[in-house]
Amino acid sequence: MNSEELRSIQSPLKEHYREAPDAALVTLRAQGRIGEGVSCKIETGKALVVAGLHPATGGSGQAACSGDMLLEALVACAGVTLNAVATALGIALRDASLQAEGDLDFRGTLGLSKDVPVGFQNIRLTFTLDTDAPEDQLATLLRLTERYCVVYQTLAHPPALALIRKAAPR
């Protein structure tokens, strides 16, 4: 896809959202159901993913780890955003790879220390770009990728989060 093709797809959407801002608000959903052992089956729309405990908390390593899935979501979103921004700016990428690393101290997750937070303490997102683009264009590319990557921005600026319990139908 080139920048003209991307613009032709996005221009009508942008115009529609300018005219009707409420149309731009979309609620995404994910759902799952507890599975065998200590697992949860997540319906991705493409396949069923079974998530389980990380080996550092007693898992077998056979099921997907939700922490890994969070990092994978960051890489996926940043990769798609990078590709879209490069396309829009006319920056030719011969190749690009992304890697996300996150540091967890599992003492928090296992309730061993109230002083240790539960969750990632640090996350690093690394881009390896194969391109002839000059440094100023690459700086713009990464700045705009950071700005428009939904998962990156959600992690950087957490939204209000609510836990809601519903009674199961009987």
Residue range 108-128, pLDDT digits in tens: 999 998 999 999 999 999 999
pLDDT computed for residue 39 by the predictor: 80
Q: Which residue has the tokens 């937070």?
A: 117
Q: Which residue has the tokens 């002839």?
A: 132
Flag the least confident range among 24-28, 100-104, 146-150, 153-157: 24-28
pLDDT computed for residue 164 by the predictor: 94
* 80 in Cβ contact with 93 (< 8 Å): no
The reported pTM is 0.87
Structure tokens at 137: 């264009």
Residue 92 has pLDDT above 90, yes or no: yes
Q: What is the mean pLDDT of the chain?
A: 91
Structure tokens at 16: 């529609």
pLDDT bucket at 27, cuts 50 / 70 / 90:
confident
Could you tell me where the DSSP H helices lie in 20-156? 66-89, 106-109, 135-148, 150-156
* 75 in Cβ contact with 97 (< 8 Å): no
Q: Which residue has the tokens 């139908």?
A: 169
3-state SS assignment for residue 95: strand
- Residue 36: which of 51, 48, 46, 47 has the closest Cα? 51
**pLDDT tens, 46-72?**
778 899 989 999 888 899 999 999 999
pLDDT computed for residue 7 by the predictor: 87
What is the sign of the dihedral through the CA atoms of 72, 73, 74 and 76?
positive
pLDDT computed for residue 67 by the predictor: 92
pLDDT computed for residue 126 by the predictor: 95
Measured from the Cβ of residue 24, the count of other Cβ atoms closer than 10 Å reads: 11
